[in-house]
């Protein structure tokens, strides 16, 4: 890792190290997993993806990542690992039955950054198990972006925070999980009727469901976008997410089209490269400035938490739509995949929703810190009211990970 990459990670790791934002991709294969073959697939992918096999090394109060030759064993069982693990890694694989779990420490990669590695491991596994002929290209990350250069371009990004701004109060109870599956075709049809993108329609429906569930006349939501294009780093494996937020007054009988059009307009405005870069400056500028301060980690943690509130980060819910979870997209690979789920803590919001699409089905994996039941049914009601077929709306109980 070069000096530029270190400057990015040294800043953000202080926050994530304390909050342990661990993410999971859970892939269900068509047959029971052969652990020995999965280990061989992981070892083969490791040779082509060195980025993921680095360990954090602390020198006084500075951190950098170093390559590691330590073994990375595939684990049996579904228990989530703690990161860094005993060998210092921030990525782990495990399996149980037909499911393969990819866990990783969020400061290392976002969902798009983890997808190429996951895809390669599954391809190599299929080569061993089913005799396929996937090649698997070597994964090299683009150099890290220069946060100082971005801050110099957008100095006003560090002057926009208001210490007195009102902040939404999020629920912070022990999370529970629920999962909702719906037919993608129904969502696309609803989007066509509204004249907007499917993601805008999905977000609008989520707003309607959250309004009913929380009994609020105003919903505050946030959503994440991939900022690799704006940063000029299309092959970046590290975290490149810009998050935006919008406050939405909403009545119980608001037509979906009316809500969706407003959501869509906001989304289109924020998808420009300029807006993404400015938001990166806002997000990472605060982190970078705190990192530069001479203070203990405990003090820096409190400053980070304060910074989240100053920047208006907390929300009633956030939504991330990954779409096709594999990179590159591979219809041949999906022949061997029955199901895909992605689970991420509801960090910074009362409710966190991760959405993926596979085999014509959209799966919403939800972590909910609101201490009341009924969110799965609120989602079902919102979707079915627009003629979207809901295949599952299940409350899965407490989050034990």
Summarize pLDDT for 361-383 with one digit per residue, the tens. Answer: 999 999 999 999 999 999 999 99
Is the residue at 375 inside a domain?
Answer: yes
Query: Is the domain of 117 the same as that of 191?
Result: no
List, in order, residues 6 or more apart from 159 with CB less than 8 Å away.
Answer: none
Query: Is the domain of 244 the same as that of 354?
Result: yes
Query: Is the domain of 241 the same as that of 298?
Result: yes
What are the pLDDT digits (tens) for 46-65?
A: 999 999 998 877 776 666 77
Is the residue at 95 inside a domain?
Answer: yes
CATH number at residue 303: 3.30.559.30
Please count the structural domains in the chain: 2
Is the residue at 69 inside a domain?
Answer: yes
pLDDT for position 187: 98
Of the candidates 66, 62, 41, 40, the residue with the CA atom closest to the CA atom of residue 53: 66
pLDDT for position 158: 79
| 77-111 residues labelled b (16+ CB within 10 A) or e (exposed) | eeebbebbbeebbbbbbbbbeebbbbbbbbbbbbb
Q: Taking 80 as the threshold, does the pLDDT of residue 1 lie above it?
A: no
Owning domain of residue 180: 167-398
Reduce the DSSP state of residue 180 to 3 states and report it.
Answer: strand
Query: Is the domain of 177 the same as that of 115?
Result: no
Indicate the pLDDT class of residue 13, thresholds 50, 70 and 90: very low
Average pLDDT over residues 95-104: 97
Q: Taking 50 as the threshold, does the pLDDT of residue 22 lie above it?
A: yes
Is the residue at 149 inside a domain?
Answer: no
- Mean pLDDT (the chain) is 88
Is the residue at 144 inside a domain?
Answer: no
Q: Taking 90 as the threshold, does the pLDDT of residue 262 lie above it?
A: yes
Q: Taking 50 as the threshold, does the pLDDT of residue 398 lie above it?
A: yes
Query: Is the domain of 121 the same as that of 203?
Result: no
Q: pTM score, two decimals?
A: 0.91
Query: Is the domain of 119 the same as that of 199?
Result: no
Is the residue at 156 inside a domain?
Answer: no
CATH number at residue 43: 3.30.559.10
Query: Is the domain of 56 the same as that of 124?
Result: yes
Query: Is the domain of 226 the same as that of 364?
Result: yes
What are the pLDDT digits (tens) for 291-336?
A: 677 666 666 666 656 555 555 578 999 999 999 999 999 999 999 9
Query: Is the domain of 225 the same as that of 110?
Result: no
């Amino acid at each position: 890792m070069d000096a530029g990459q270190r400057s990015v990670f040294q800043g953000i790791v202080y926050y994530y190290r304390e909050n342990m934002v661990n993410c999971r991709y859970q892939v269900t294969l068509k047959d029971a997993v052969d652990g020995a073959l999965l280990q061989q697939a992981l070892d083969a992918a490791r040779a082509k993806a060195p980025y993921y096999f680095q360990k954090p090394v602390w020198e006084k109060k500075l951190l950098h990542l170093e390559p590691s030759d330590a073994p990375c064993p595939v684990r049996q069982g579904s228990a989530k690992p703690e990161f860094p693990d005993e060998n210092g890694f921030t990525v782990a694989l495990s399996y149980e039955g037909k499911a393969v779990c990819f866990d990783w420490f969020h400061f290392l990669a976002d969902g798009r950054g983890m997808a190429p590695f996951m895809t390669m491991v599954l391809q190599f596994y299929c080569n061993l198990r089913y005799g396929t002929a996937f090649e698997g290209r070597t994964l090299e990350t683009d150099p890290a972006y220069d946060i100082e250069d971005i801050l110099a371009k957008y100095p006003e990004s560090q002057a926009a925070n208001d210490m007195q701004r009102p902040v939404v109060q999020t629920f912070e109870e022990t999370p529970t999980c629920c999962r909702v599956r719906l037919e993608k075709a129904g969502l696309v049809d609803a989007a066509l009727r509204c004249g907007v993108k499917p993601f805008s329609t999905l977000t609008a429906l989520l707003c309607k469901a959250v309004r009913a569930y929380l009994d609020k006349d105003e919903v505050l939501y946030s959503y994440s976008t991939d900022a690799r294009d704006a940063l000029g780093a299309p092959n970046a494996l590290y975290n490149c997410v810009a998050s935006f937020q919008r406050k939405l007054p909403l009545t119980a009988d608001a037509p979906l089209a009316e809500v969706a059009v407003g959501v869509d307009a906001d989304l289109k405005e924020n998808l420009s490269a300029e807006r993404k870069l400015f938001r990166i400056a806002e997000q990472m500028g605060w982190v970078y400035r705190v990192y530069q301060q001479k203070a203990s980690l405990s003090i820096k943690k409190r400053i980070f938490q304060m910074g989240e509130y100053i920047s208006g980060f907390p929300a009633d819910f956030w939504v991330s739509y990954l779409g096709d979870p594999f990179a590159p997209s591979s219809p041949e690979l999906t022949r061997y995949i029955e199901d895909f789920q992605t689970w991420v803590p509801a960090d910074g919001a009362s409710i966190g929703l991760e959405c993926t699409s596979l085999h014509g089905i959209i799966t919403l994996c939800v972590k909910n810190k609101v201490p009341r039941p009924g969110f799965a049914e609120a989602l079902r009601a919102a979707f079915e009211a627009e003629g979207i077929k809901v295949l599952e709306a299940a409350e899965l109980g407490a989050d034990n990970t």
